[in-house]
Structure 1
Amino acid sequence: MPAPPKQADLPELQDAASASLRPLAERMRPRALADMVGQRRLLAPGSALRRAVEGGHVHSMILWGPPGCGKTTLALLLARHADAEFVAISAVLSGLPQVREVLAQAQARFQAGRRTVLFVDEVHRFNKAQQDAFLPHIERGTILFVGATTENPSFELNSALLSRCRVHVLEAVSADDIALALRHALDDAEHGLGGRCLEVADAALREIAGAADGDVRRALTLLEIAADLADGEGGCISEATLHQVLADRTRRFDKGGDQSYDQISALHKCVRSSNPDAALYWLARMLDGGADPGYLARRLTRMAVEDIGLADPRALQMAIEAWNAYDRLGSPEGELALAQLTLYLASTAKSNAAYRAFNAARADVEAHGTQDVPLHLRNAPTRLMKSLGFGKDYQYDHDVDGGIALDQTGFPDAMGERVYYQPVQRGMEGKLKEKLDTLRAARTQVRKQKDRP
């Protein structure tokens, strides 16, 4: 009977045992900068960040990018090159007491002559007080702070924290690069699946890479699931196996997050630039990712009044009808109404003249404060009001030749006349422009004659 292991050997045995239980994505985590896939712009040979990391001159930073693009791996490599202790906490799981404990340990380590790379995952989930706790330690150099976030740091992080860190933007990893990572995992016998003699066609790897939607970790997880299923099929990841694994694929879309704002921005701008094909693509992307169709209907209605306006008044009516159609039909049938609306809005004439006019009027309201209504425009339902001059000299337009009292002002006396609405020569608004140009010129002429001595 073999002797039991010595106490000193237990951690080593436990490490070996736990390694075999770790997911493939964790086992295949790159151990050098050269092993990372993607991020060619940020980590290109000779780039500022790569030179700093390889030289051990690491600075506190925020890593902003989508899931699975390598934020955690990069933080680990920073600690390795800086010969520093790596400590990771999650803003989802940690509170202020845990943060203070970690910072106290880093302080003790610093006094002993060793630096700490503190990696904070999902840093945007920390509130202001929790984010502020890091500031003095970053300033004193107690920690090298590395925060990871999928959300825009400008909106989610305190300006004080941002001022002490450099923001590095990471990109979603391309399907080609993910396919390389998958092939490496299949060939790596020590950490990957190389010892299992799996048969996988390149086309299958490309399909997994595409389904991962820029997320290397997700791709490796899908490959590991497929490999486990293939063990019962002679080690071959067949088309049928792949179909099972990828049946419930979803694309990246974070409701209320940066991606949702980026995609609705893309949809709006493609409608505005009269590109119906691109607009339809972004609508389909958002619906595919789980966006609320009711939210999309509301935003499309906004586009109808902001970017189409009076160039095609039918657009607003169609937007309301499409919204109602979706409410009655639901998904997926009602989504076709939103698609038709998107195509129409992107294809029809555009004008933001009403939008600009309304903003100009609101600016005057703010600038001029509470101005009195001119006496001739005031309502005079009582004898007292009439005796005070309310409604005096008002001209009833229907009784005037031409149906318009050209010399009658509609603005407060202190402001004088204003022109907010400037129609464009597009769509139905072109006819409004012709009429208003003529009318405004006539009013100007009448006022000039009235002002002559």
Structure 2
Amino acid sequence: MSQQNSLFGAEEAPAPPSGGVSAPAAVISSPSPAAAPLGMPLAERLRPAHWQDVIGQRHLLGPGKPLRLALERGRPHSMILWGPPGVGKTTLARLVAQTVRADFIVLSAVLAGVKEIREAVQRAQVSQQAGRATLVFVDEVHRFNKSQQDAFLPHVESGLFVFIGATTENPAFEVNSALLSRATVHVLRGLEAEDLQQLVARACQALGQPAWPEEAVARLVDHADGDARRLLNAVERVAEVAEASGQPLSGVLVDQVLGDRLRRFDKGGDQFYDLISALHKSIRGSDPDASLYWLARMLDGGADPLYLARRLVRIASEDIGNADPRALPLCLAAAQTQERLGSPEGELALAQAVAYLAVAPKSNAVYLAWKAAQAMVKAAGTAPVPDHLRNAPTGLARQLGHGQGYRYPHDEPDGFAPGVSYWPDGMSSASLYQPVDRGLELRIREKLDRLRELDVAWRDRS
């Protein structure tokens, strides 16, 4: 039997028949730890053989939960499994196929194309003719382009196979709407500490070792950051070092073997944007402590400090605005400091800016006014500039009336020319900028109210 490692995973599959169509894959089951082949990674050896053995994901597999009901009834549905790495997406797909005794076809969206999708469809058709169900699992489905994703649609609709896609990216953005409408999205979560502790206990049993010290387990759980595969790989490395060196298992040994913990951080992915959203909303919510925490999380995870500096400049205009105009130059100075000093020295300036933005008075009045002005321009089209506002640099321009009737505000009392319209002819004026009653905008609002009163008084006299 030939091994198919690149496209359909590492399962054994019969040689293709004369028509070039591969025969159906065998039903997948995971080996028990004791029966595992020599050299198989611990994470693979401990892959659950039954869905009841899955650790975590109780919101999907607990009593009465949707995925469990589908498994218990033997009626799986097409689905998208969305979650971070190491939370069991591939395992669940295998267990669904095993529970309903379906032929299991694995496609990697990194390696496969339309040709391989077509081959998978042919295999499913052969299985259907033989009275067997087929489950097609696509790992990293978000990496398929639209035409590749569309190739599944008619077969999912006809029921030729059950489709399961796994992704670490938000399927609302990365999976096309037609395929998404035919599949249920199940969100998988990072494993909790108690789940990871249970997994360590299983690993110790599989390795034939007594329970590890609590301190060592706590360090492993902290290192794993919710990722079961990372945890089991770490357990295996620590166990190998302990055996080779004769050192006792301890938290110190775990630290020596694993080094600095790298927290889960998907630069440019969903988690990245969730973190920047948390930072922005904490600043907007005037919580300096939470704001500094999220800044530290992003820098610790490897975010570009200059990207964060640019976001702070944006926040200064969007959420503070003229309530505290000092916020914008402060953020620009922090960005310049980061650019000149680099990390870690420049990061303190970013922290200073974050704390200042969080405690500054908040106003989105400029942001709302700008959006309203943009909407007006799109709706009104290209209105001509009134003659009194036009430039008049030449005699011809002045003969045409450009600048005629313009009142120079510096020649007016209080530096303001009441009654003058600065809008296109025929367009009603609009109060786009509405300062709030906070910070400097409180005084700005008072001044605008006074200027508007002068306008009204001028018109009443005219």
TM-score bin (small chain): over 0.9
Match of 2:207 in 1: 193
Match of 2:69 in 1: 51
Q: Deviations over 1:353-402 (max 9, x none)?
A: 11111111111111101001111111112222222221111111111223
| Contact 1:306-1:354 at 8 Å conserved across structures | yes
User: How do 1:127-138 and structure 2 match up within 5 A?
Assistant: 127-138=145-156
Q: 391, 394, 409: which is aligned to 1:379?
A: 391
In structure 2, distance between residues paired with 1:292 and 1:222: 28
* 1:287 aligns to 2:305 (yes or no): no
Q: 441, 449, 452: which is aligned to 1:440?
A: 452
SS in 2 for 1:167: strand
Structure 1 residue 95: Cα displacement: 2.2
CA RMSD for the aligned pairs? 1.5
Q: 55, 77, 80: which is aligned to 1:37?
A: 55
In structure 1, distance between residues paired with 2:77 and 2:272: 31
Amino acid at match of 1:112: A
In structure 1, distance between residues paired with 2:239 and 2:283: 44
Match of 2:171 in 1: 153
Amino acid at match of 2:189: E
Match of 1:7 in 2: none
Match of 1:418 in 2: 430
Match of 2:279 in 1: 267
| Contact 2:282-2:290 at 8 Å conserved across structures | yes
Q: For structure 1, which segment, 440-449 or 383-392, has the greater mean C-alpha deviation from structure 2 after superposition?
A: 440-449
Q: What is the TM-score when the length of structure 1 is the normalising length?
A: 0.92
Match of 2:355 in 1: 343
Amino acid at match of 1:313: P
Match of 2:243 in 1: 231
Amino acid at match of 1:85: D
Amino acid at match of 1:429: E
In structure 2, distance between residues paired with 1:299 and 1:308: 13
Structure 1 residue 101: Cα displacement: 1.3
In structure 2, distance between residues paired with 1:74 and 1:277: 39
Match of 1:249 in 2: 261
Structure 1 residue 441: Cα displacement: 2.3
Amino acid at match of 2:127: R
Structure 1, unaligned stretches of length 5 or more? 1-14
Match of 1:403 in 2: 415
User: How do 1:169-180 and structure 2 match up within 5 A?
Assistant: 169-180=187-198
In structure 2, distance between residues paired with 1:182 and 1:88: 28
Structure 1 residue 62: Cα displacement: 0.3
Q: 62, 85, 91: which is aligned to 2:103?
A: 85
In structure 2, distance between residues paired with 1:339 and 1:60: 46
Q: Deviations over 1:179-217 (max 9, x none)?
A: 111112212xxxx212xx355212211220121011011
Amino acid at match of 1:304: A
| Contact 1:185-1:193 at 8 Å conserved across structures | yes
Q: Deviations over 1:86-127 (max 9, x none)?
A: 121211122222222122111111121111111111000011
SS in 1 for 2:163: strand
* 1:392 aligns to 2:404 (yes or no): yes
| Contact 1:55-1:81 at 8 Å conserved across structures | no
The number of residue pairs the alignment matches comes to: 430
* 1:62 aligns to 2:74 (yes or no): no
In structure 2, distance between residues paired with 1:354 and 1:100: 54
In structure 2, distance between residues paired with 1:332 and 1:263: 20
Structure 1 residue 17: Cα displacement: 8.6
Match of 1:312 in 2: 324
In structure 2, distance between residues paired with 1:216 and 1:182: 9
Q: Deviations over 1:128-186 (max 9, x none)?
A: 11111111111111111000000000100111110111111111111221111111221
Identical positions, percent: 56
| Contact 2:201-2:211 at 8 Å conserved across structures | no
